[in-house]
Amino acid sequence: MRAAPETSALPRRPDERPRRDPLAALGAFLQQKGLKHSRQRQAIAQIFFDMGGHVPVDALVARVREQDPRVSVATVYRTMKLLAECGLAVPRRFGEGQTRYEPADHHHGDAHDHLICTACGAIVEFESERITALQRRLARRHGFEVERRRVELYGRCAGCRGAAAKEPA
C-alpha cells in the first residue's frame, strides 16, 4: 500500500501537510533516492497534478508536448512510474486497454471506488466504509488479508440515461 505519513510519532500541523504539495514530495523523494530533478520530470509532474482526475497517459503526453514538443512518450511513462513508486500517483485500468493515472493525494485514503459511465465515459468516485468493511470481512472468511482493492461499477450516468430516454436509439 501507499506510504501514508506516520501519524503516530509526529502530529502534523494542519498547515503543513506533506501530501498537499505533491511536487515538493516528489523533490524530496528524488533527492533522497539520489535521483535527478530534471526539467522533464518537473513539467510532467506539474501538468499531471494540474490536470487532476484520471489521466490517460496519451492525454498527459499531449499536454506536456504543448509545452515542450520534444518530450518523449518513454519519459512520460518513466516519470509516471516514478510517481506511482513514490506513492504520489496511482495507476488505474478501466478496461479500455490504456492506463490512467490518478493523483494519490486526491482523497485521504485512496480506498475509493469508481463509477464509470458506459455511454459518455464519465468517471465518478465514491467511497463506502460499509462496503470495504464487508469486503474485508468476507475476504477474511476465505482466509484472505486484503491489501488492495479494485472496484468498478459500470453503468449509465444520470445524463446519459436521460438522453437515451428522450432520444431512443
Cα angle: 144, vertex 147, 148; to 5 degrees: 115
150 in contact with DNA (CB under 7 A): no
Those residues whose C-beta lies under 8 Å from the C-beta of residue 94, and which sit 6 or more positions away, are 54, 100, 114, 116, 123, 152
92 in contact with DNA (CB under 7 A): no
Q: What count of other Cβ atoms lies within 10 Å of the Cβ of residue 60?
A: 21
Would you state the torsion angle of the CA atoms of residues 75, 80, 86, 91, taken in this order, to the nearest 10 degrees? -160
24 in contact with DNA (CB under 7 A): no
144 in contact with a copy of itself (CB under 8 A): yes
Span near DNA by CB under 7 A; candidates 16-24, 33-41, 121-129, 147-155: 33-41
Helix (H/G/I), strand (E/B), else coil: 125: strand
Q: What is the DSSP string of 63-87?
A: HHHHH-TT--HHHHHHHHHHHHHTT
Nearest distance, CB of residue 62 and a copy of itself, angstroms: 24
* 120 assigned to a ligand binding site: yes
Residue type at 73 in one-letter notation:
V
70 in contact with DNA (CB under 7 A): yes
Query: For a copy of itself, which residue of 11, 14, 69, 95 counts as binding (CB under 8 A)?
Result: 95
Which residue ranges make up the annotated binding site?
Answer: 108, 113, 117, 120, 157, 160
Binding site for DNA (CB under 7 A): 30, 34-41, 57-58, 68, 70-75, 77-79, 81, 97-99
Binding site for a copy of itself (CB under 8 A): 93, 95, 113, 115, 117-118, 124, 126, 128, 130-131, 134-135, 138-139, 141-159, 161
